[in-house]
């Protein structure tokens, strides 16, 4: 029994860490949806694109080298120098800000006032476009992203010193770092939204576009700002996931796991994205450990989150922290 309890605590803690990574992706969805009403299906691909760009810059890789070599018959792949991780991260942030400006300037600027389904379809097109551009720029091979984050197993409670019923349990160091980063990031975003002029303008746009325009708020600026913040969040998520499992095109599929997180936390709540991520992370790990593996043959992590989200859609469709919208006809 004590051994089972120790294993359960280990699964619980690892579920919290996984939930933090889910929440990082969900944050990008919340930022864009809250300010513009657009459900950005491309958020997962933005995390992939940011991670690939960071890897390429760090390793001095020539952008579009595969395309250039195929057209001109050359064999150029690298500039011949590497860039330190911190400088590469700053350059990648610049790339994501440029991407935000281009998205607003060439896509959503022309879709203002369109139906939500049209905007949603535009983000699907953007997702496939970014995935293709990322493939052309940096290649489709699996990349190992190393920005100096601690990795490997950490003995959280060592059985020889601080024993828990005589048993130790293990936590990945990278998960601990991701949790700390996520806490800092959420606190910074909440402070930004509450106490800065741009944050208040962003909240005003979220409440009422026309009212915000009437008091001089620039919608173009706010939307570029929001997409830039979402790009930064995508970069953070891409770094964490890329360092954990490698930079590969399956990384873009983490957006699908963020959907139930949003359904639980609410599409308009930053704290809700974190709480929803923790519930999903802990829930799927504990369900797999206590019920899935012993009684259902395992693999329940693939569908548990969606079943939980379905229950929320039936009984509380706005999520835990979402706004309940009442339309009068």
Q: pLDDT below 50 — which residues of the chain?
A: 157-165
Q: Identify which of 233, 237, 308 has the alpha carbon closest to the alpha carbon of residue 270.
A: 233
Give every CB contact of residue 178 below 8 A, 6+ residues apart in sequence: 17, 20, 21, 24, 240, 244
CA quadruple 161, 20, 314, 266: dihedral positive or negative?
A: positive
Q: What is the pLDDT of residues 30-52, one digit of tens each?
A: 888 877 778 888 888 898 899 99
Collapse the DSSP code of 76 into the 3-class scheme (helix H, G, I; strand E, B; otherwise coil) and give the result. Answer: coil
The pLDDT score that the predictor gives to residue 323 is 64
Q: Which helix (H) or strand (E) holds 172?
A: strand 169-172
Chain-centroid distance of CA 194 in Å reads: 22
The answer to whether residues 224 and 273 touch, using CB atoms and an 8 Å cutoff, is no
The pLDDT score that the predictor gives to residue 270 is 80
The pLDDT score that the predictor gives to residue 325 is 57
């Amino acid at each position: 029994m004590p051994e089972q309890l120790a294993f359960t605590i280990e699964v619980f803690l690892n579920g919290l860490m996984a939930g933090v990574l889910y929440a990082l992706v969900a944050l990008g969805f919340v930022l864009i949806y809250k300010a513009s009403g657009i459900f950005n299906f491309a958020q997962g691909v933005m995390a992939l694109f940011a991670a690939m760009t960071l890897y390429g810059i760090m390793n001095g890789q020539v952008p579009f080298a595969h395309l250039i070599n195929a057209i001109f018959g050359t064999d150029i792949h690298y500039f011949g120098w590497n860039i330190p991780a911190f400088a590469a991260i700053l350059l990648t942030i610049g790339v994501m800000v440029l991407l935000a400006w281009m998205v607003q300037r060439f896509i959503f600027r022309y879709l203002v006032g369109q139906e939500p389904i049209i905007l949603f379809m535009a983000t699907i097109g953007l997702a496939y476009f970014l995935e293709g551009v990322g493939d052309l720029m940096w290649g489709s091979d699996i990349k190992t992203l190393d920005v100096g984050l601690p990795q490997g197993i950490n003995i959280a409670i060592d059985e020889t010193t601080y024993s828990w019923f005589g048993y130790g349990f293990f936590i990945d160091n990278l998960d601990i770092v991701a949790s700390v980063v996520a806490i800092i990031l959420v606190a910074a975003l909440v402070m930004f939204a509450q106490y800065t002029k741009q944050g208040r303008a962003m909240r005003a746009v979220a409440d009422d576009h026309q009212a915000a325009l009437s008091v001089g708020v620039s919608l173009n600026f706010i939307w570029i700002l929001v997409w830039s913040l979402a790009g930064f969040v995508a970069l953070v998520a891409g770094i964490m996931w890329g360092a954990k499992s490698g930079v590969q095109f399956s990384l873009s599929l983490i957006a699908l796991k963020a959907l139930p997180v949003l359904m639980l936390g609410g599409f308009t709540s930053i704290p809700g994205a974190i709480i929803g991520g923790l519930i999903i992370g802990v829930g799927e790990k504990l369900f797999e450990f206590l019920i899935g593996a012993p009684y259902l043959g395992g693999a329940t992590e693939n569908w548990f989150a969606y079943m939980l989200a379905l229950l929320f859609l039936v009984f509380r469709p706005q999520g835990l922290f979402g706004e309940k919208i009442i339309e009068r006809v």
